[in-house]
Amino acid sequence: MKFRTFSKITAAAVAALAVAAGSALAQTKPKVSFVYVGPIGDMGWSYQHHQGLEAIKKEFGDKIETNYVENVPEGPDAERVIDQLAATGSSIIFTTSFGFMNPTIKVAARYPNVKFEHATGFKQAPNVATYNARFYEGRHVIGLIAGKMTKTNTIGYIASFPIPEVVMGINSAYLAAKSVNPNVKIKVVWVSTWFDPGKEADAAKALVDQSADVLMQHTDSPAPVKYAAEKGIYAFGQASDMTQFAPEKHLTAIIDNWNPYYISRVKALIAGTWKSGDTWDGIKDGTVVFAPWSKSIPADVVKLAETARDEIAAGKRHPFTGPINKQDGSPWLKAGETASDKDLSSMNFYVQGVEGALPK
């Protein structure tokens, strides 16, 4: 008896809630959600995506609602988080790390009315768009600077995981450095993490101990830049301007400026013109920008870097222009040939001249 009363009340409550939720949904504002792999205070990758969220808030004000979840591990946990967001009324969900790819696709299949945007991946669906930035264009420019600035002819590179995104950055930087300094070598250390300041600093130490005097990183914390400052060698910031950590030694940084893309996508969502697709913006579109050049860079090197930047923006230069061989000596691009986007987004080999074996 008691149980029956209870279940009746519950059923009534659920029905009332459903009605309330339904009417709320009909007039609610679009809700924009973000999923970050790191803390928004990492001063790097996740921080920059969060800047995008702030830009959306500023642009659309109270026309939209926003929320975000930070520190989401890549893997099964991510699926739970994304599902939760989709189930609680998000209209569009930006999942901002490569490892969120499969969870995003899976959840998207369950919520056909919710829009998903996955950063740096390659799987799309009618309600899943992908987007990335041509960071390899930026790597080309800082590669040129590194090639000119190194005295020991050794560039140290702190890498995270051997995914195409990271591999193409290494290759692009090396080819550029090599083009201005035939003796240059690149040493790559894989730390198997996107974010572990202690380990990143250790990796920086290892590289400096082995005579690297310019550091590049594809991990998210400012620890390597900070270490470079202490050691009096040069470093490039990652994802955001890290000048504050090494005022003298921070040469420049490739800044991920996602704001224009995020604003355009939310605009499309509100207008009802959102479509799935694959967007890959670069220097031309203002997504890949540079922190101010350091005063330590000589004027002729600044000119070299700016020329490269402007030529890439104008479409006159491609960082991967043949002839380029793979590490094992087999040909990849013929003279004058440029790499296709498809080649780039599945790149799983070093180019000739990079030392060491690529982890699998």
Partner 1 sequence: MDLLANVLISAMIAATPLVFAGLGELVAERSGVLNLGVEGMMIIGAIAGFAAMLATGSAILGLFAAMAGGALMAALFGVLTLTMRANQVASGLALTMFGLGLSALWGQAYSGRSAPPFPRLYIPGLTDLPFVGKLLFGQDGLVYLSLACVAGVAYVLTRTRVGLILRAVGENHDAAHAIGYPVIGVRYLAVMFGGAMAGLGGAYLSLVQTPLWVERMTAGRGWIALALVVFAAWRPLRVLLGAYLFGGITILQLHSQALGVKIDAQLLSMVPYIATIVVLVLISRDSARARLAAPACLGKSFHASS
Chain residues binding partner 1 by CB under 8 A are 38-39, 41-43, 71, 156, 187-193, 195-199, 201-203, 205-207, 209-210, 212, 221-223, 226-227, 230, 244-245, 355-357, 359
> Residue 69: how many CA atoms within 13 Å on its side-chain side?
21
Q: What is the DSSP string of 113-132?
A: TSEEEEET----BTTEEEEE
Q: How far is the CB of 245 from partner 1 (least distance, A)?
A: 5
Minimum CB separation of residue 20 from partner 1 in Å reads 32
Q: Which is nearer to partner 1, 215 or 339 (CB)?
A: 215
Q: How far is the CB of 62 from partner 1 (least distance, A)?
A: 25
Minimum CB distance to partner 1 smaller for 42 or for 256: 42
SS3 of residue 238 by DSSP: strand
Could you count the other beta carbons within 10 Å of the beta carbon of residue 71?
15
Q: Which one, 105 or 201, has the nearer CB to partner 1?
A: 201
Q: What is the DSSP string of 16-59?
A: HHHHHHHHHHHHPPPEEEEE-SS-TTSSSHHHHHHHHHHHHHHH
Q: How far is CA 179 from CA 33, 119, 310, in A?
A: 43, 31, 18
The whole-angstrom separation of Cα 226 and Cα 203 is: 13
Q: Which CB atom, from 38 or from 121, has the smaller least distance to partner 1?
A: 38
Q: What ranges make up the beta strands (E) of the chain?
A: 31-35, 65-69, 92-95, 115-119, 128-133, 154-159, 185-190, 214-217, 234-239, 250-256, 278-281, 288-290, 324-325, 331-333
Closer residue to partner 1, CB minimum distance, 31 or 187? 187
Residue 208 CA to residue 202 CA, distance in Å, equals 10
Instruction: State which residue, 116 or 245, has the beta carbon closest to partner 1.
Output: 245
For residue 263, the minimal CB distance to partner 1 (Å) is 25
Residue closer to partner 1 by CB (options 112, 356) is 356
Minimum distance of partner 1 from residue 164's CB (angstroms): 18
- Chain mean position to CA 346: 16
